[in-house]
Structure formats: structure tokens, C-alpha cells
């Protein structure tokens, strides 16, 4: 392979300029089926590539592998009109004569390894997918929507958006709440400032390692109180990084776990229950029912469902208890009296048992969560649970990187304190509607 296939005579200057990717040189071609044929600029330069294994410069081209890529060319400054072009990239593979060990492709900047899209196309696809379905965005640009590519496309853009965010201003009160998304739990890290709930991030899993990796980015001296979901790994992580803070389990967490247990029972025992919106109406306090006409219907539906009736009554007792100035003793009594056949509540009983100290800690807290805390947490949990199916990176991207964060300036520096819960919930619901209703991207 000593002799080069192309000489400078083969370069198409006009098309190279038109393409506008600094690394690439467009070749004159007589094939009309491939779009633009391109090579890396260094093909015509003397630059020697270093062997990644031994750093030697005794490398030479051993073969050329053709890569087909789709590329996007913006035709105006405002990025409204575009053209999709096909590239045939003749990528050189180098062999190292020093160590003889390695054959490596020449490095490129314009596209990720193995990706069928150039970065500028990939980024345009990702920007759309933050708010619309990937399929619709790909249709808009007229490129194939392979589900294998969406994760890579999004991760690249998320990294970029994440790097542009100002640093987190560590809240004095942190809350870690597990949100459920297609059968998996993901901890959402919330911060509380001036009676408002803000979302800082959503983590990949509830392991001590993942949670710890996030917590260590915060300023431990600022953290005074942590509301943590009753999960061992989360508790350990919090305890390790903020040993001086008050670590408590709130009444909201107990109510949420009890509600989830109640929903499981409704879904198993409450099929064809004669009440619309039964999930909501069978999990709120009886006295808070928005429509009194459902009261007799609930009674009617319970007649033929004795287990559901017992679960409902016991859940109501907990909700009533939580309305009052309850004590740990009250909670333990409630747990002891869980009806034998209602296993779903046993997990709540275990939490009361195992996290008794943290629940007691909550009762003696000087400063209670803001009034809208329960509403904010439930709003976030429900909004995420209702999002259409996607992989974790896309879900996190849509929640955390498509919505503006609230920021503050202090001593000339910009800090962020997360996304206000009401805006987060509203925007997630909007994105879900875009996807569910198959709204077209680009014609808003
Ligand atoms: Zn080498």
C-alpha cells in the first residue's frame, strides 16, 4: 500500500468548502450513488499518527475501510432549512511497525466511532428527541430511525448540555425519592429552597455507589437535613457523605409507599371496580373525595371484594392517622394490625420497623417540609411514571436537560438550584403528550 490512491488533483475544492467540515476533504468522484466521497485532511499531509499502544510514530496505512455516513448541512444561519447528504468516508487503518501489535483506525472528530451519523446530524436529532419522539425527529430529517442509535445520539448531547450547566448550589435540605419508570426505580435528587422543591438530577440506579458519586459533588458543609426514601443503599450513601446531617424518613415517604401498595391491591383485586379514576379515588382520604356521588359506588364495589375492602379500610386508617399528631407508637400499632391476607402492606410495616429511628427523627425536626412538598413529589413521580417508554438516558435527558434550570448569581458567579417541581411536572407532561400524540417535530 505504498502508493497513494488519491493525489491533490482529486480534491474538489468547491465541494470541500461547501461541506464545511474542517477535517474532511471532498474528492472529485465519478460515482453518483454514494454522495460525497471524502478522506481525512491528513491524507494529503505529512502528519504521522502515533500508535495508541506504544506511542511510536512508525506507523503506516495498512488498509482503507469505507464508512457510509449521513450528514446534515444547514442552509441558513437560523438552522431552519437543511440538506441531508451521504458521505462515503475512506477511513485509513494504520499499522505500527514499532510494536507490531496494533492496527488502529485514524481518529476522527466529525463522528463518533461506529455511528452512522456525523456529529452535527446526531446533535440535531438529539435536540429534537429531548422533546419529541426519536422516530418523528428522524422522519423530519429524513434519516433512518434505528433504535440502536438513539442512546448514543442522546448521550453525546447530554454530555454537552451537562457541561454547560452552572454548578449546583448545595441546598440545606435535600430529598432523595425513588421514582418508578417501567418497573425500575430511579432516585430523583431534590433540593428545597424557600419552601420550593427543585429537581437536581435523576440517577441511573439506587446503588450506594451511584448515589454516592452524585452526593460527593455537593458541599457537605451546607447540608443540614436529608429526607431519604427508606432504602438501605440510599441510606448508607447519605450516611457516608453527610454524617453530620439529620437523616430522616418523612410522612410523605410512608404515605407514598402505602399508596403504592394500595395501588397494587387495586390492580389485582379491583378489576371492573364501578368507579372511574379508581386509582386516585381509592387512595385519597375518604373525606377528601372530590365527588360525593362515588361514595355509594365505592361501597357497592367493595361488597364483592372483601380483601380490597380490608386493605382500603386499613389504608384509610393510616391516612387518617397521618392527618393527626401521630407518634411512632401509633405507626407501630397500625403495622401490627395489618390484616393477615393483605401482604402488600407488610413492606410498609417493615419500613416502620427498620427505619423507626429516622421516622422519629422526622417527628422531632425543627423545620418541617414545605406545605406543597407531598404534592410536588407526587407530581414528579406521576409525571415520570406516565412518560412513554424509552431508555434511561433518554428519560433523564428529557427531564433534566430539556428544561431550564433555576439559577442565582452570587459574588459574580452563577449557580443552579435545579428545576422547580411545578415547571418540571408541566414540561414532562408536555413532552409525553408530544410523543403520545405523535406530534410532528419541526413544525410547531
Ligand atoms: Zn506500536
By the CB criterion, residues less than 5 angstroms from ion ligand 1 are: 51, 53-54, 56, 96, 98-99
Q: How far apart are CA 57 and CA 49, in angstroms?
A: 6
- Judged by phi (left if over 0) then psi (alpha if -120 to 50, else beta), residue 418 lies in left
Instruction: Report CA(100)–ligand 1 centroid distance (Å).
Output: 6
DSSP characters for 118-180? -HHHHHHHHHHHTTS-HHHHHHHHT----HHHHHHHHHHHHHHHHHHSPPB---SEEEEEEEE
Instruction: Report CA(103)–ligand 1 centroid distance (Å).
Output: 9
pLDDT for the residue numbered 3: 66
Distances (CA, A) of 297 to 276, 309, 411: 10, 13, 60
Distances (CA, A) of 219 to 6, 24, 214, 246, 349: 57, 45, 11, 15, 34
Within 13 Å of residue 231, how many CA atoms lie on the same side as its CB?
Answer: 22
Q: How far apart are CA 154 and CA 395, in angstroms?
A: 10
Instruction: Report CA(378)–ligand 1 centroid distance (Å).
Output: 57
Q: Are the C-beta atoms of 246 and 224 separated by less than 8 Å?
A: yes
Instruction: Report CA(61)–ligand 1 centroid distance (Å).
Output: 13
Residue 304: CB atoms within 10 A of its CB come to: 10
Q: How far apart are CA 415 and CA 410, in angstroms?
A: 7
Q: Report DSSP state, residue 113.
A: T
- Regarding the domain delimited by 165-249+367-432, which CATH topology (the fold level of the hierarchy) does it fall under? Nucleotidyltransferase; domain 5 (3.30.420)
Instruction: Report CA(48)–ligand 1 centroid distance (Å).
Output: 13
Q: Are the C-beta atoms of 444 and 433 separated by less than 8 Å?
A: no
Question: 276 Cβ partners below 8 Å, 6+ apart?
Answer: none
Per-residue pLDDT of the chain (444 residues; tens, 9 = 90+): 456 788 999 999 999 999 999 999 999 987 777 789 999 999 998 788 999 999 999 999 999 999 999 999 999 998 889 999 999 999 999 999 999 888 999 999 999 888 899 999 999 999 999 999 999 999 999 999 887 789 889 999 999 999 999 999 999 999 999 999 999 999 999 999 999 999 999 999 999 999 999 999 999 999 999 999 999 999 999 999 999 999 999 999 999 999 999 999 999 999 999 999 999 999 999 999 988 899 999 999 999 999 999 999 999 999 999 999 999 999 999 999 999 999 999 999 999 999 999 999 999 998 899 999 999 999 999 999 999 999 999 999 999 999 999 999 988 999 999 999 999 999 999 999 999 998 888 754
Instruction: Report CA(105)–ligand 1 centroid distance (Å).
Output: 13
pLDDT for the residue numbered 335: 97
Instruction: Report CA(45)–ligand 1 centroid distance (Å).
Output: 21
3-state secondary structure of 100: coil
The domains of the chain are located at 8-110, 123-164, 165-249+367-432, 252-354
Average pLDDT value for the chain: 94
- Regarding pTM above 0.85, the answer is yes
Instruction: Report CA(58)–ligand 1 centroid distance (Å).
Output: 8
Q: How far apart are CA 365 and CA 117, in angstroms?
A: 54
Instruction: Report CA(31)–ligand 1 centroid distance (Å).
Output: 36
Q: Are the C-beta atoms of 189 and 199 separated by less than 8 Å?
A: yes
What's the CA dihedral at 431, 211, 207, 254 to 10 degrees? -70
Instruction: Report CA(95)–ligand 1 centroid distance (Å).
Output: 8
Strand partners, 82: 74
Instruction: Report CA(220)–ligand 1 centroid distance (Å).
Output: 46
Instruction: Report CA(162)–ligand 1 centroid distance (Å).
Output: 35
Within 13 Å of residue 419, how many CA atoms lie on the same side as its CB?
Answer: 24
Instruction: Report CA(65)–ligand 1 centroid distance (Å).
Output: 20
pLDDT for the residue numbered 1: 47
Amino acid at each position: 500500500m505504498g502508493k497513494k490512491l488519491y493525489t491533490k488533483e482529486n480534491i474538489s475544492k468547491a465541494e470541500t468548502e461547501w461541506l464545511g467540515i474542517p477535517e474532511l476533504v471532498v474528492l472529485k468522484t465519478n460515482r453518483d450513488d454514494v454522495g460525497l466521497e471524502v478522506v481525512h485532511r491528513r491524507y494529503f499531509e505529512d502528519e504521522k499518527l502515533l500508535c495508541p499502544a506504544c506511542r511510536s510514530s512508525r506507523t503506516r496505512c495498512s488498509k482503507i475501510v469505507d464508512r457510509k455516513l449521513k450528514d446534515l448541512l444547514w442552509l441558513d444561519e437560523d438552522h431552519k432549512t437543511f440538506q441531508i447528504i451521504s458521505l462515503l468516508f475512506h477511513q485509513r487503518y494504520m499499522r505500527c511497525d514499532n510494536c507490531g501489535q496494533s492496527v488502529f483506525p485514524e481518529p476522527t472528530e466529525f463522528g463518533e466511532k461506529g455511528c452512522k451519523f456525523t456529529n452535527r446530524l446526531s446533535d440535531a436529532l438529539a435536540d429534537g428527541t429531548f422533546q419529541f419522539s426519536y422516530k418523528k425527529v428522524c422522519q423530519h430529517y429524513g434519516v433512518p430511525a434505528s433504535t440502536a442509535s438513539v442512546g448514543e445520539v442522546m448521550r453525546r448531547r447530554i454530555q454537552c448540555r451537562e457541561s454547560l450547566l452552572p454548578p449546583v448550589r448545595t441546598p440545606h435540605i435535600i430529598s432523595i425519592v425513588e421514582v418508578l419508570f417501567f418497573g425500575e426505580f430511579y432516585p430523583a435528587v431534590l433540593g428545597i429552597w424557600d419552601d420550593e422543591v427543585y429537581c437536581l438530577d435523576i440517577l441511573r440506579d439506587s446503588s450506594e455507589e451511584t448515589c454516592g458519586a452524585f452526593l460527593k459533588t455537593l458541599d457537605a458543609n451546607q447540608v443540614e437535613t436529608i429526607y431519604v426514601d427508606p432504602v438501605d443503599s440510599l441510606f448508607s450513601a447519605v450516611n457516608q457523605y453527610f454524617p453530620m446531617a439529620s437523616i430522616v424518613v418523612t410522612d410523605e415517604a410512608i404515605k407514598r409507599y402505602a399508596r403504592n401498595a394500595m395501588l397494587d391491591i387495586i390492580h389485582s383485586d379491583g378489576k371492573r371496580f364501578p368507579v372511574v379514576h379508581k386509582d386516585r379515588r381509592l387512595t385519597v382520604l375518604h373525606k377528601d373525595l372530590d365527588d360525593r356521588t362515588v361514595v355509594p359506588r365505592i361501597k357497592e364495589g367493595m361488597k364483592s371484594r372483601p380483601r380490597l375492602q380490608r386493605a382500603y379500610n386499613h389504608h384509610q386508617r393510616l391516612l387518617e392517622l397521618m392527618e393527626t399528631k401521630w407518634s411512632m407508637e401509633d405507626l407501630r400499632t397500625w403495622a401490627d394490625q395489618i390484616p393477615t391476607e393483605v401482604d402488600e402492606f407488610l413492606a410498609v410495616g417493615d419500613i416502620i420497623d427498620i427505619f423507626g429511628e429516622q421516622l422519629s427523627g422526622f417527628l422531632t425536626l425543627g423545620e418541617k417540609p414545605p406545605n406543597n412538598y407531598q404534592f410536588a413529589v407526587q407530581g414528579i413521580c406521576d409525571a415520570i411514571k406516565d412518560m412513554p417508554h424509552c431508555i434511561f438516558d433518554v428519560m433523564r435527558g428529557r427531564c433534566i436537560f430539556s428544561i431550564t434550570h433555576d439559577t442565582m448569581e452570587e459574588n459574580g458567579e452563577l449557580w443552579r438550584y435545579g428545576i422547580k417541581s411545578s415547571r418540571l411536572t408541566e414540561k414532562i407532561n408536555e413532552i409525553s403528550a408530544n410523543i403520545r400524540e405523535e406530534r410532528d417535530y419541526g413544525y410547531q
